[in-house]
Amino acid sequence: MNAISNIFRKKITETLSKEDLETKEAGMQLKKEINTIFGRSLSIREVDAGSDNATEIELVNLTTPHYDAEQYGIAFVASPRHADAIIITGAVTINMAEAVKKVYEATPHPKLVIAVGDDACNGGILKGSYATLGGAEAVLPIDWKIPGNPPSPKEILKGLLALMQSIRDKK
């Protein structure tokens, strides 16, 4: 296949409707739960502990106009000092273990730790590798896991909603 035909051929991607009512409904419920628990938006610091970037791409998709996570009260922040929650992606590599611990220590209490993607949940395909310690729970206490390889933005929103509902139910 030459470059010209590659540009003009139909792309193989997931077909997205202009408005996904299921995602919008989950997002609105999430916003309500976040407001009930925090009284403001949920600030998240994402930490890549050694991933293949598949999960990060889905997290970035949450911030695009199609999903627009900010309308649901989710904000990604650059500093763990401004975060309410940490999202860990990827199996924790030996070289990243100390950095992950430092991010955790820098996050103010009460802090939530969420493992997103199979690698962060249980080590995924890197489980047992000489270069990894395993999933995020090998170095941090995990509050919630959102499995998937990678989980879609919709699954991430639903996972965050389930976490918020679980926190509300504990109160």
Q: How far apart are CA 132 and CA 104, in angstroms?
A: 18
pTM: 0.86
In this prediction, residue 41 carries a pLDDT of: 93
With a cut of 50, list the residues of the chain below it in pLDDT.
Answer: none
Whole-number average pLDDT of the chain:
90
> How many domains is the chain built from?
1
Whichever domain contains 155, its CATH number is 3.40.50.12280
Consecutive H or E run containing 112: strand 112-116
**Within a domain: residue 21?**
no
What's the distance, CA 78 to chain centroid? 14
**Residue 97 lies inside a defined structural domain of this protein:** yes
Residues spanned by the domain of 68: 43-165
Asked if residue 27 is part of any domain, the answer here is: no
Residue 128: count of CB within 10 angstroms of its CB: 9
Q: Which residues contact 40 (CB under 8 A, 6 or more apart)?
A: 34, 73
The reply to whether 30 falls in a domain is no
